[in-house]
Structure 1
Amino acid sequence: MEIVVRRAVPDDGSRIADIYNQGIQARMATFETDLRTADEQRQWIEEHSGAPAVVAVVNGVVVGFAHAAAYRSRPCYRGIGEFSMYVDANSRSCGVGKTLLNALVAEAQELGYWKLVSRIFDCNTASRKLCQACGFREVGIYEKHGKLDGRWIDCVIVERVITENLR
C-alpha cells in the first residue's frame, strides 16, 4: 500500500469530517461529542492555512489527517503547536499513523515550529505507542482532565522538541 502525504486543502473537508466523526463516536481520543460537518472542516482548514495540516492518501482517498494549532496566544509560546491526528478505522495498523505523524513533524519543522505537544487519553495505548515511535516523550498526566459520558478521563501529555528550530 502506497501512502501519499500532502498538505490538507479545503476540498478534504468531507473526508476529514468522516474520519474525525469516527473518533468522536469511538470515545477514545477526544472529549468532543458533537459530530462535525464537511463545511465546518473546510472552514477550519481555510482559517488555519498557515498552520501545519497534512492528510494521508491511499488510492486517491484521504485515510487520515493531522494538524497543529497554536498552543497558546502569548508570544513566548509562538512556535509550539498542539496537534491532533486521526486515521480512518479501516486504515489503522498499516503504517498510516506513523507516516502521517512523521510528516506533520516535518511540516511543523519547515514552518519554524520548535515543539509539538498533545494530550492522549490514558487508555489509548495505540496512540501512546505511536507517539513514542515517532520521537515523542510522555511528560505527565492530567488527572481527571475532562468528563466524557459521565466518566472522568485522565490524559497523558506528550511532546517532541524539534531541535533543528531551537535558536
Structure 2
Amino acid sequence: MHIRPAQLSDVQAIAEIYNQGIDDRSSTFETHPRTAMDVQPWVADMSRFPVLVVELDDAVVAWANLSSYRARSCYAGIADFSIYLRRDVRGRGIGKALLNALLSEAEARGFWKVLSRIFTFNEASLTLCQSCGFRKVGVYEKHACLEGRWLDCAIVERVFPSNQPDTGERA
C-alpha cells in the first residue's frame, strides 16, 4: 500500500471510486455520477486542500480529500473531509491508514479542525472516524432527502489543539 498526493492521471480512478459510493447510497446525498472532468479541479490545485490516494498493485483503490468548510474567513482553519474506498478493498485497514495520512496533512497545513457529516447508519465510517480520534458532536436530523428517505447525519470532528490560534483570551 502506497499513500501519495493525487495526480491528474488519477482523476478517472477517483471518479470511479466516488461513483461506487454514490451508487451504494451509503455515503453521500449525491445521486449523479461524477466524471474525471468533475474531479479534475480538486486535483489541479491542491495548494490549500489536498487530495490523497492509495495505490495497491499500481492501481488507485481509495482517495480522501479536504475541502472548504465555509467561505467566511473565521472558518479558514476548519476543513471538511471525504474518504472513499473501492468496494473490493474495504475492511482491510486501508481507510484508517489513508484517513490518518490526511489528518497529518491537515495538521501540517495549519488546520485546527477537520470535520464531516456521516449517515448515522454508516457504521463502518463512524467506526473509522472514532479509531482516528474523531468525536461525535451531534446529529443533524433529517439533514436531506435521498430518494424519498430523510436521512440523519452524525457530525464528527477532530481538533488539533497545537494549531488553534492564540486569541489572547484565557479561560
Tell me the TM-score normalised to structure 1 length: 0.95
CA distance in 1, matches of 2:160, 2:54: 22
Partner of 1:55: 53
Partner of 2:127: 129
Which 5+ residue runs of structure 2 have no aligned equivalent?
Answer: 166-171
Partner of 1:83: 81
CA distance in 1, matches of 2:37, 2:69: 24
Which consecutive aligned stretches of 4+ in structure 1 deviate over 6 angstroms post-superposition? Answer: none
**Cα displacement (A) at 1:49:** 4.1
Which of 24, 37, 58 is the equivalent residue of 2:35? Answer: 37
CA distance in 1, matches of 2:49, 2:61: 20
Which 5+ residue runs of structure 1 have no aligned equivalent?
Answer: none
Partner of 2:116: 118
**Cα displacement (A) at 1:60:** 1.1
Partner amino acid for 1:54? L
Report the CA distance shift for 1:51/1:42 in structure 2 as closer, same or farther (over 3 A): same
Q: How many residues align?
A: 165
Report the CA distance shift for 1:36/1:48 in structure 2 as closer, same or farther (over 3 A): same
Tell me the TM-score normalised to structure 2 length: 0.93
Which of 146, 165, 170 is the equivalent residue of 1:148? Answer: 146
Asked if the contact 1:10–1:41 (Cα under 8 Å) also holds between the matched residues in 2, the reply is no
CA distance in 1, matches of 2:102, 2:128: 13
Per-residue deviation, residues 83-106 of structure 1 (Å, max 9, x unmatched)? 110000011010110001000000
Residue identity over aligned pairs, in percent, reads 50
Partner of 1:69: 67
Partner of 1:8: 6
CA distance in 1, matches of 2:59, 2:162: 33
**Cα displacement (A) at 1:38:** 1.2
CA distance in 2, matches of 1:7, 1:114: 21
Larger radius of gyration: 2
Partner amino acid for 1:44? W
Asked if the contact 1:10–1:43 (Cα under 8 Å) also holds between the matched residues in 2, the reply is no
Partner of 2:137: 139
Partner of 1:17: 15
CA distance in 1, matches of 2:69, 2:96: 22
RMSD over aligned CA atoms reads 1.0
**Cα displacement (A) at 1:8:** 1.3
Report the CA distance shift for 1:10/1:50 in structure 2 as closer, same or farther (over 3 A): farther
1:46 aligns with 2:73: no
**Cα displacement (A) at 1:164:** 2.3
**Cα displacement (A) at 1:56:** 1.0
**Cα displacement (A) at 1:48:** 4.4
